[in-house]
């Protein structure tokens, strides 16, 4: 069990077949945090409106987050565009706080603005119908991840995201990500913070734009990534956690039932 001062996860997309709930459960089981930020799109309501998909592991993720709160973790949930309905329930619910944004102060005194990031996506804000259409296309592309990874497992290979590979190599997508990152940094300037943490675009990253630190916690559909802060204030990006944890199903179910911890290290 590893302990961190803070962690940020985003874009879990519970309710979709692309969600890597198994890997996220392993990450939450093997690490503890004083504060855990859920930076939007925990539940994919857009997908659930098209058809109900909710296996037991997706319910287990919700239970695991609530259990972390009961055990002392301060959980801060910042809704995104796919779970924007949660924004109608702002407030404190036990150890869970639902709020539109947050300012996190690191152990070394830096102020970081925490937002999901859809606020700066012009398509989401101004052409929501086009965002819905794009999401359907994205979900279709994600469907191909399942047969591809079935074959990779048969060959003894680790998890690989076809959709992420396509996104990295499509010129327009690369350009959009670059412009999004610059827009987030400009947005942070108005809040007098030294950096910003966000999600939304499923592209985990730690970069510096001038004097502003940019952190993107990625997602649990393609990259299976998270940001973690040590007790010295250093922030690290953990990626490819679907392969790093490689959880076995029997142990995962034991853990959800409050069995003794396995002692495996993240």
10-27 residue pLDDT tens = 999 999 988 999 999 999
CA 194 to chain centre: 22
* Neighbouring residues of 20: CB distance < 8 A, sequence distance ≥ 6: 159, 220, 221, 224, 242
Check if the beta carbon of residue 37 is closer than 8 Å to that of residue 74: no
Residue 2 Cα distances to 5, 30, 229, angstroms: 10, 7, 12
Any domain includes 265: no
d(CA 201, CA 114): 15
Whether residue 76 lies inside any domain: the answer is: yes
| Mean per-residue pLDDT over the chain, rounded | 80
Q: What is the pLDDT of residues 151-160, one digit of tens each?
A: 767 777 666 6
Flag whether 99 is in a domain: yes
How many whole angstroms separate alpha carbon 196 and alpha carbon 205? 12
241 lies in some domain:
yes
| CATH number of the structural domain spanning residue 12 | 3.60.21.10
Q: Rounded mean pLDDT of 97-125?
A: 85
264: in domain = no
CA distance 198 to 192: 16
CB 76 within 8 A of CB 99: yes
- With bands split at pLDDT 50, 70 and 90, how would you rate the model's confidence at 191? confident
> Pick from 184, 212, 213, 211: which is nearest to 200 by CA?
184
User: Looking at residue 264, what is its pLDDT?
Assistant: 34
Cβ-proximal residues to 35 (8 Å cutoff; 6+ apart), any chain:
5, 6, 7, 73, 74, 75, 76, 104
Closest CA to 118 of 83, 167, 67, 162: 83
Cβ-Cβ contacts under 8 Å for 173 (sequence gap 6 or more)? 166, 167
Q: Domain range holding 216?
A: 2-256
Tally of domains within the chain: 1
Residue 192 lies in a domain: yes
Domain for residue 183, yes or no? yes
- Quick check: 55 pLDDT over 80? yes
Cβ neighbour number for residue 251 with a 10 Å cutoff: 15
- What pLDDT score was predicted for residue 121? 55
Asked if residue 57 is part of any domain, the answer here is yes
Is residue 219 pLDDT above 90, yes or no? yes
CA atoms within 13 A on the CB side of 92: 4
Read off the pLDDT of each residue in 14-41 and give the average, rounded to a whole number. 96
């Amino acid at each position: 069990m590893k302990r961190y001062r803070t962690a940020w996860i985003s874009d879990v997309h519970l309710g979709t077949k692309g969600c890597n709930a198994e890997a996220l459960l392993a990450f939450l089981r093997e690490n503890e945090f004083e504060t855990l930020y859920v930076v939007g799109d925990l539940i994919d309501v857009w997908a659930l409106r098209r058809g109900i998909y909710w296996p037991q592991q997706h319910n287990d993720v919700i239970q695991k987050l609530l259990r972390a709160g009961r055990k002392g973790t301060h959980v801060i949930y910042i809704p995104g565009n796919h779970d924007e309905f949660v924004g109608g329930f702002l407030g404190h619910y036990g150890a869970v706080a639902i709020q539109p944004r947050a300012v996190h102060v690191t152990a070394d005194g830096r102020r970081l603005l925490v937002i999901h990031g859809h606020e700066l996506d012009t398509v989401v804000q101004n052409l929501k119908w086009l965002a819905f259409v794009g999401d359907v296309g994205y979900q279709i592309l994600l469907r191909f991840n399942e047969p591809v990874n079935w074959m990779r497992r048969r060959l003894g290979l680790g998890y690989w995201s076809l959709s992420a590979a396509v996104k990295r190599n499509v010129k327009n997508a690369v350009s959009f990500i670059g412009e999004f990152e610059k827009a987030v940094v400009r947005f942070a300037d108005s809040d007098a913070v030294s950096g910003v943490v966000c999600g939304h675009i499923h592209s985990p990253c730690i970069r510096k734009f001038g004097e502003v630190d940019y952190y993107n916690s990625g997602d649990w559909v393609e990259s299976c990534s998270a940001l973690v802060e040590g007790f010295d204030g250093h922030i690290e990006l953990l990626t490819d956690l679907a392969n790093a944890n490689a959880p076995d199903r029997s142990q995962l179910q034991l853990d959800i039932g409050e069995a003794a911890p396995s002692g495996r290290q993240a």
